[in-house]
Each structure stands twice: as C-alpha cells, then as structure tokens.
Amino acid sequence: MRLLFLGDIVGRSGRDAVVEQLPRLRAGLGIDFAVVNAENAAGGFGITRDICRDLFDAGADVISTGNHVFDQRETLTHIEREPRLLRPVNYPPGTPGKGVGLFPAAGGRQVLVINAMGRVFMQALDDPFAAVERELSQARLREVADAIIVDMHAEATSEKMSMGHFCDGRASLVVGTHSHVPTADAQILPLGTAYQTDAGACADYNSVIGMEKEEPLRRFTTSIPQGRMQPALGAATLCGVFVETDNGTGLALRIEPLRLGGRLKTAMPE
C-alpha cells in the first residue's frame, strides 16, 4: 500500500498548495491513502467546516490535528458530524470528536489512523502512550487494519522518537507534527515501522514556522506582543512523507521525504 502524510497546513498559502498538488500527487505516486494535518489551516489557528470540505475534495482521506484543533468554535460541533476529522486521542473523556478511526482505502483495504499529542512543553493531557497502546491492542496490524498511521503531535523530539520506538513493529508509520520543520531522519525502525520526527509544514518558509516574521521577532526581541500572528502568504512548500508498505505484513518497505514548491529544496519519491 502507498501512503502519503502531509504536515501541518498553515493558512491560505498552505491550503492552496495542498488543494492544487494533492490530486496530482495521488495520481503520480499511486497513493492509496492520504492523511493531512490541518490544525493551522484557518488563518494559522484551527480548521473550519469549509476547509475540511476543500481538503477532502482534493483527496485527503483523513484530517488530523493537534493543540489548535478547537481554536475555531464551529469545530466543536463539526467534529462530531465528521468522523474523518480527528483530534488527539488523549484528550480527556467527554471532549468532542474522536482521536482514532478505521477508514476505507483503495482496493477494499482498511487503514487505522491514530492522532496523539505529546505532553512535554505542551498542555497537560492524558498519557499519549497509554492511549496509543489501548488503540493498538484493539486493532492489530493485519488482523484489523492493513496499515496503521500514528500522527504524534508534539514539541519534544525525544517524545516523538519514543513514540516511534514504542509503536515499532505494530504500526506502518509514526510521524511527528507540530514543529513545522521537516527533519532529516526518515527511516525504517528495526521492527519495520516507518518513522520521521517531523513531517514539516505545508506553508510559506519565508516566515517563522509559517507565520509572518514581524510579530514573532517583536515578541522575541522585546517580550511585548503587539498583535495577532498571521500566516505568511508567499508560495508554500508542501512537506510530508511517502511510505510504501508490505501487503503481507503492513510494515514499511520504504519511506521517503516529500518537499514540493516554495523555498525548500525539492524532494520527491522515485
């Protein structure tokens, strides 16, 4: 199976790039299933019903999120109606929406997607490792799901790496989001799980992690915020990872980074 994961969409620039390029990527790479993290898609903060529709229409099978998932109030109700929109699985009981789902893929296959969020340098949530363990124990690779994707939305690289090794041999892909910078450590872990610490962002990289530079620089140099941060509007680089799995085991045969457009050097799967 061929899987595509695209990192955090930041604002209109990132949205436009994904909507334009995702159909071409699905066709050109023979993608069977695509996940997009879009927690920063609405002006850099959250996601809306209309943005969800546009991303699904462009070819996203599932939308994952993170700590900004509920920044737009309409998401509190929309996420209950749209099972393909996930929030972190380790939010407290009673939080609207779900953090995991089993979704149909090409050829009648099934893909389990788990959206988890780290706790180091982030808001206090339930234990992400216990939450992921619970889901993996209930839907084992090749017994229930043909592929399993874990989006680990976290600040600390150590926490993301730990999740990768925690899931090794039990998931097809563990990929980090939230940092908005693509890492150079795409690899297959010893027991067969594809891993990359951060997928990067679908954003304008002439920015500070996708945001216009002036306000972040002001805050760092003066410690005085003077306005709301706004997404940068230049041409976006589309960042993510491509994974091919073994149909017999559901584990990874290869993982390759993907970068397309904008300022970063292009990297496309062969």
DSSP lists the bridge partners of residue 227 as none
Residue 180 annotated among the catalytic residues of the structure: no
> Three-state SS string across 57-81, please?
HHCCCEEECCCCCCCCCCHHHHHHH
Whole-number Cα distances in Å, 135 to 61, 108, 169:
20, 22, 15
Catalytic residue among 68, 78, 153, 180: 68
Cα torsion angle, 38, 63, 56, 193, sign: positive
Whole-number Cα distances in Å, 77 to 57, 72, 74:
20, 10, 6
Nearest to 144 by CA among 119, 178, 170, 176: 170
What are the two backbone dihedrals, phi and then psi, of residue 21, each rounded to the nearest 5 degrees? -95, -25
Active site residues: 68
